Amino acid sequence: MAMRILLATIGITMALGAPGTALAEPAGPWMTLLSITFPILADLPGLPVNCTGWYATSQGHGGSMPISVYVTAGHCNVPHIVRMGEGLEQPPVLGHIDRLGVDAAVGVRVDQRATRTFPILAMTLPQPGERALVAGYSAGHLTEAVLTTLPRCFHGFLCFHSDHALRPGMSGASILSLRTGQIIGVLVGTSLDSHGYGDQHTIWATPAVALRALIELAAPGGPEADRAGGMVSSHSTPPTLRLE
């Protein structure tokens, strides 16, 4: 079965932390996704939107700046480039997996949000027919779609039916259950043909249950900080992580 990657050209349950940090609940689904989602830019002239990233959990401070762990799709181009104020930042990518069943990457970046909200990551798979919401940067614009969980999928991925065809740039977007308010997956791409699902309204996603292990492997102790308070990665290149 072929899959079209949505390129243009993955939160953990946690207690309330420091002031300005909170769980995303009980905000509405759209506001929850809006508060955690940001575009990841392509490393190309003109910097078109490449993928979608989202803040998953707090990771302390680098100097005086708050640092957060973020998630995106594992197949997204490295380095990741994000906007920071009026400039651009290249945050450290701590690890990534790009294989059947798990396609996700984890990095850390300075978090300049006034209130740092983080979603709850589901510990179980969604039920067939469960409705969900996805939000990401499609063609440079924040876009949402309502999804329905399909009863079967392949290679360990989740499959959803979207209420409209998704456009490039949505890879890495978080998928939030409208039943539980928790993140249940990370968007990977769309199905092209065969096996019963043959249109671009069918999307594949990495299950949130797989993200827990990835985040724990990639960012168990948080990023290091240099003397100027900037972030430094402990890896010269992002390692390819293995989940048993």
Cα–Cα distance between 102 and 124 in angstroms, integer?
15
Question: If we measure between CA atoms, which residue out of 48, 139, 142, 100 comes closest to residue 243?
Answer: 100
- Two tokens at 97? 């997996």
| Structure confidence at residue 28 (pLDDT) | 86
Peptide bond preceding 79 in cis form (omega within 30 of 0): yes
pTM of this structure: 0.78
b/e sequence 29-55, b meaning 16+ C-beta within 10 Å: beebbebbbbbbbbeeeeebbbbbbbb
Tens-digit pLDDT string for the chain (244 aa):
444 445 443 222 222 233 344 444 445 899 999 999 999 987 766 666 789 999 999 887 666 789 999 999 999 888 899 988 888 889 999 988 988 889 999 999 999 898 898 999 999 999 999 999 999 998 778 999 999 999 988 889 999 999 988 878 899 999 999 999 999 999 998 866 444 445 678 999 999 999 888 888 887 754 333 333 333 333 334 444 443 3
The yes-or-no answer to whether 10-118+210-225 and 131-208 have a common fold is yes
| Structure confidence at residue 64 (pLDDT) | 73
Domain ranges of the chain: 10-118+210-225, 131-208
| Structure confidence at residue 61 (pLDDT) | 67
Residue 111 half-sphere exposure toward CB, CA atoms < 13 A: 28
| Structure confidence at residue 128 (pLDDT) | 96
> DSSP 3-state assignment of 129?
coil
| Structure confidence at residue 204 (pLDDT) | 92
| Structure confidence at residue 216 (pLDDT) | 85
CATH class, 10-118+210-225 region: mainly beta
Query: Fold for domain 131-208?
Result: Thrombin, subunit H (2.40.10)
